Amino acid sequence: MNDRVIAVTGAGGFIGGALTAELVARGHRVRALDCKPIDEWHRLEPEAENVVADLRRLEACHQAVAGVSEVYNLAADMGGMGFIEANRALCMLSVLINTHMLEASREAGVERFFFSSSACVYAAHRQASPDVTALAEDDAYPAMPEDGYGWEKLFSERMCRHFREDFGLETRVARYHNVYGPHGTWTGGREKAPAAICRKVATAVLTGEDEIEVWGDGRQTRSFTYLDDCVAGTLMIMGGDVVEPVNLGSSELVTIDDLIDVVADVAGAPVKRRYLLSAPQGVRGRNSDNAMIRRCFGWEPSTSLVEGLTHTYAWVHDQVAATLAGRPPQLGDPVGTSAR
């Protein structure tokens, strides 16, 4: 067991829970923090110190980093495009978390600080066509990110930079591109496209329907990053010497219709599509340019969309089946007993 304590904020969420599990598996002492009640955490590691805390408050951040050597700050109020477009102020309030966590970390002498940013920082005019040119890290400026959530992420990136330059706090930043996988949010309004499509196809399969609703015209393009690749890349970037933000995403560009095709093939059930053009769609095209992560680390996400969706669909199918049968669905791994 490593004597150093590592803090993971947003640990009750999808990515934060998986990151906490990996750090524990590597023998680290982990303080896992989230504002949600313990029984709403996606995943809870019994061997971690699991803490419910509102990290928008500076005092809570001071308590969170006491005795901590490294911080992985993944906490944010966010969700899929439907949530982001309808809750811009809530998304921007997450800037309090990063600002207060940085300040508390500086005062506590934290050695290294990781911030999970987003591809939503990229300028909208670079994403106006489905035939998008892959977005390189420099394309975030001149700045015109996605309203609300994107501005919060870009501002927080700059905070990390200036805390490093002015105060000597070693900061690392990864820009996540559409992370998906089992144990993620799959219903309720915060789910992202892969989980939403898996849910709709699974519902059609289990109820005998042959049509699903699709937000937009199906021609929007995206790349989707499997959870295991995201966790591996996060740990790699945190341990590396690259101080500028780094794309952490797959470069496998697909349309939303392509995404549906893959899920339908995995399910063995082709479905008809009813396109809802008035629904939130986000940008027309977004893809990750991975030249920097390949050059600096000799690595990039490698899980194919087919492989990742095979695992994701199987898990979401089970949750939909449980719900239809009147049983409670599974948020994540079984809840442990070390919460306080």
Torsion (CA) 215, 324, 37, 248 in degrees, nearest 10: -40
Residue 12 lies in a domain: yes
Separation CA 91–CA 318 (nearest Å): 30
Separation CA 44–CA 259 (nearest Å): 30
What are the CA-CA distances from residue 136 to residues 183, 220, 233 (Å)?
30, 19, 17
Tokens of 299: 């690595």
Residue 47 lies in a domain: yes
Beta bridge partners of 33: 9, 51
For the chain, the three-class secondary structure string (H helix, E strand, C coil) is CCCCEEEEECCCCHHHHHHHHHHHHCCCEEEEEECCCHHHCCCCCCCCEEEECCCCCHHHHHHHHCCCCEEEECCCCCCCHHHHHHCHHHHHCCHHHHHHHHHHHHHHCCCEEEEEEEHHHCCHHHHCCCCCCCECHHHHCCCCCCCCHHHHHHHHHHHHHHHHHHHCCEEEEEEECCEECCCCCCCCCCCCHHHHHHHHHHHHHHHCCCEEEEECCCCCEECCEEHHHHHHHHHHHHHCCCCCCEEECCCCCEEHHHHHHHHHHHHCCCCEEEEECCCCCCCCECCECCHHHHHHHCCCCCCCHHHHHHHHHHHHHHHHHHHHCCCCCCCCCCCCCCEC
Separation CA 230–CA 48 (nearest Å): 21
The predicted pLDDT at position 128 comes to: 85
8 in Cβ contact with 51 (< 8 Å): no
Residue 86 lies in a domain: yes
Residue 315 lies in a domain: no
Separation CA 90–CA 102 (nearest Å): 20
What are the CA-CA distances from residue 259 to residues 196, 266, 320 (Å)?
11, 11, 19
97 in Cβ contact with 9 (< 8 Å): yes
Separation CA 156–CA 73 (nearest Å): 11
Residue 212 lies in a domain: no
Residue 274 lies in a domain: no
Residue 297 lies in a domain: no
Tokens of 25: 């598996």
CATH number of the domain that residue 72 is part of: 3.40.50.720
Which residue numbers are catalytic? 149
pLDDT tens across 215-257, in order?
999 999 999 999 999 999 999 999 999 999 999 999 999 999 9
The predicted pLDDT at position 2 comes to: 55
Residue 46 lies in a domain: yes
Contacts with 317 (C-beta within 8 Å, 6 or more apart), sequence order: 198, 202, 205, 206, 267
Residue 11 structural domain: 5-181+227-250
Residues of the chain with pLDDT below 50 are 1, 332-340
Number of domains in the chain: 1
Separation CA 248–CA 292 (nearest Å): 10
* Of 218, 312, 327, 336, the residue nearest 272 (C-alpha): 218
